[in-house]
Structure 1
Amino acid sequence: MHSHTPASRTGRPRSAAADTAILAATREALVELGWSKLTLGDVAMRAGVAKTTLYRRWAGKNELVVDAVAELFDELELPDRGSLAADIEGVVLQFAAILARPEAKSGLMAVVAEATRDDALRERIRRSIVERQMGLVLQGRARAQKRGELPPEPDPQEAARTVDLIFDVVAGAVVHRTLVSGKAADEEWVRSFTRVLIGGLASPA
């Protein structure tokens, strides 16, 4: 689990309590209003802070929503269930449960759509959500290699490409299943997905 602090700006010292209240208020507003009707003024009122406090911390609504959603994904942890398959199933079920939350659904879909025409926002999503969860892939792969379930990769560049690929496959499949297709990533689906994933990972290149 990671703590998340929005990008700092110059000026008066930041208040961690205010940041926490603002991000929680943003998620509350996403549940009640959705992304399209969410305003910084409403978030400020819910958080009990001045609207200028938000503008000192975030450039606009999209950046605020990215940080609020990123905190949800920081809840992800890789359980040690004794095998690669069980570990993957555990983290994928957590991931699917987060995506099923209304604040994650409305927030993530909206900012990803906005990022198609905003390179800075795309970079913020990559830095705040994607890169921070890559650590789970690294941890899981290292654990499986130690158990002898996956072969070692002595080439650092090839290892980095593998990590990217694993993350893309897992995240892409679960996001498509839950947010695009609107279907449940339940235990049966997760077991089937894990079986297919490991079949590809464990086979020689």
Structure 2
Amino acid sequence: MASVTGNGREGSETGGRGGRPRSAGADAAILAAARALLAERGWDGMTLGDVAARAGVAKTTLYRRWPGKAELVVDAMAQLFDTLEPADAGSVRADATIAIRDLIALLGRPETQTAFLALAAHAARDPGLRAAVREKIVDRQRRLVHAGARRADARGEGGRITDPDLLFDVIAGTMVHRLLIAGEPVDDGYVERFLDLVLPAATR
């Protein structure tokens, strides 16, 4: 698997056969090509050969890093989700509003929708893939809510986020279901109603 740091940038490390050094530039080109082809052609239309050609690397370079399409897409999506940043807008509710809007924008991208639906289907039959999705995409983004909880405490809003992991599950689960499963839009009014439900009125 490609190494993707928490800030969304690949690190150079030793990998592949014979301990060859990994090329961060090649990794970045491959991951970007995978996302572009997912958006253009969908899951079934994207092949590893096409990704290698789009990235300008040899197929062997790609296969040394990722043994299959699912593994590649997990890392491509992980890098994309790592671009999400905690918001600091003055209150828990304002922070949450910005964070949710950022998540909605990311979930609305065609490559994200294609990847998530396909990975969910494949992960249902592959425990290793499910674990990779959870570790590299889902659990890594819990940092956003934990950062919000720490910031709330620093502002004197202690107690507003009593269970960051549960709040993350509620936010992520609702938005993924609304956008990717139900196929319904998430406008400002929906976000406001959602926050009325999950956050105390005092967090306005």
Offset of 1:66 from its aligned partner? 0.8
Cα distance, 1:49 vs structure 2: 0.5
Q: Note the residue ranges of structure 2 that are not aligned, 5 or more in a row.
A: 1-5
Deviations along 1:108-157, whole A, 9 cap, x unmatched? 1111211111111111111111122111111001112233334289xxxx
**One of 129, 142, 153 as aligned partner of 1:145:** 153
2-side partners of 1:26 and 1:67: how far apart? Answer: 10
| 2:7 aligned partner, one-letter code | H
TM-score by length of structure 2 reads 0.88
> How high is the TM-score relative to the length of structure 1?
0.88
Q: Which runs of 5+ in 1 are unaligned?
A: 154-158
Q: SS state of the match for residue 59, structure 1?
A: coil
State how 1:37-186 maps to structure 2 within 5 Å.
Answer: 37-151=45-159, 162-186=163-187
Match of 1:13 among 7, 21, 25: 21
Distance of 1:18 and 1:27 partners within structure 2: 14
**Distance between the aligned counterparts of 1:112 and 1:43, measured in 2?**
21
Asked if the contact 1:85/1:195 (under 8 Å) is kept, the reply is no
Q: Structure 2: which amino acid aligns with 1:9?
A: G
Amino acid across the alignment from 2:8: S
**Structure 1 vs Structure 2 CA RMSD:** 2.2
Divergent runs of 4+, >6 A: none
Distance 1:192 1:152 in 2: 18
Aligned equivalent of 2:7:
2
Identity %: 49
The alpha carbon displacement at 1:4 in A equals: 4.4
